[in-house]
């Protein structure tokens, strides 16, 4: 398939490589040029701007948030002249944006599918993403070859795109809750004389096996937060989306408020660009446990880079 791809962060680059490996022709665009050059060297083609990807048969986007999608892709002029008949938005955005996007695309004859994913950068690179997809049935059928290239399984969640985004927001809320629980338990263990590695062995060897507790737990125990597979500031964004969605549906989520504040504390202390596992340092700081070396980011570092590049 002739595919235009927008958004070449860690996730997007891995996804493009899987599309290329599956034999798709991929035209790429990104605000920063280096990822474009990197992928062109591997067989992709470079678009001459965001409008260039709309000349492809299908468009796939993997941008950071609502604002990035609004500014780059929700363009009346570009959609009016688009040759593409399908747009698959794989970013974690709000249900409200998904509804607006679907309506805008429909006015211009372009099918809109929401297909956010579960998995970190290394999962995307291996083509093992879990894809949560919703949109018109025929559009989901057309997108199926793309999903097969990028993921290990696709959940089809109906014809309303916003439902896929709601599912992803709920999943990320549970994920962040688990990481915060491990961070707090690890701080309690260390303050009481229990080595973090020993606690992790107990947890993952008994009631909490699996990639979330094993993967994030090891990062917290080792205080290893870079490179970031899932940035803390994006976790903050996603929990904010959960709270916004809950408010619109009149669903109380008291734990989400606590998580938002923990994530905001991490961002305020310069850790937004680090992995979500850096919640461990927030718990350590609250418990007055020893800090990292002075050279590490912490108490008021430089601003984080723009997550949308």
Active site residues: 168
Q: Which of 51, 49, 58, 65 is nearest to 98 (CA)?
A: 65
User: Dihedral of CA 307/73/139/82: which sign?
Assistant: negative
The answer to whether 110 and 132 have CB atoms below 8 angstroms apart is: no
Distance CA 89, CA 256 (A): 25
5 pairs with which residues across the strands?
28, 60
Residues 6+ apart with CB under 8 A from 228: 273, 274, 275, 276
What is the rounded distance in angstroms from the CA atom of residue 47 to the CA atom of residue 73? 14
Q: Which residue has the tokens 């579960």?
A: 118
- DSSP code, position 290: P
Q: Is the dihedral of CA 34, 20, 113, 259 positive or negative?
A: negative
Give the DSSP H or E segment for 221. helix 217-222
């Amino acid at each position: 398939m002739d595919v235009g791809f927008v958004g070449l962060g860690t996730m997007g680059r891995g996804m493009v490589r899987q599309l290329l490996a599956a034999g798709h022709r991929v035209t790429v665009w990104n605000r920063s040029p280096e990822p474009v050059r990197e992928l062109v060297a591997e067989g992709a083609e470079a678009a001459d701007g965001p409008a260039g990807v709309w000349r492809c048969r299908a468009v796939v986007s993997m941008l950071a948030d609502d604002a990035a999608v609004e500014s780059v892709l929700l363009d009346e002029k570009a959609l009016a002249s688009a040759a593409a008949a399908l747009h698959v938005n794989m970013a974690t955005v709000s249900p409200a944006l998904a509804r607006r996007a679907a309506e805008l695309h429909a006015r211009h004859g372009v099918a809109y599918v929401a297909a956010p994913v579960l998995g970190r950068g290394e999962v995307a690179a291996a083509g093992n993403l879990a894809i949560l997809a919703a949109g018109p049935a025929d559009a989901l059928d057309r997108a199926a070859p793309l999903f097969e290239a990028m993921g290990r399984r696709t959940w089809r969640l109906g014809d309303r795109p916003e439902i896929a985004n709601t599912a992803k927001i709920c999943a990320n809320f549970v994920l962040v809750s688990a990481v915060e629980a491990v961070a707090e338990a690890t701080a309690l263990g260390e303050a009481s004389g229990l080595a973090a590695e020993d606690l992790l062995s107990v947890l993952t060897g008994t009631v909490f096996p699996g990639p979330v507790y094993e993967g994030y737990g090891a990062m917290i125990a080792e205080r290893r937060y870079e490179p970031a597979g899932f940035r803390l500031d994006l976790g903050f964004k996603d929990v904010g989306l959960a709270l916004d969605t809950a408010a619109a549906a009149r669903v109380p989520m008291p734990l989400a408020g606590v998580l938002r504040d923990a994530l905001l504390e991490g961002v305020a202390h310069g850790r937004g660009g680090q992995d979500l596992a850096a919640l461990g340092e927030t718990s350590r700081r609250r418990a007055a446990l020893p800090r990292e070396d002075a050279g590490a980011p912490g108490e008021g570092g430089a601003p984080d880079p723009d997550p949308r590049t």
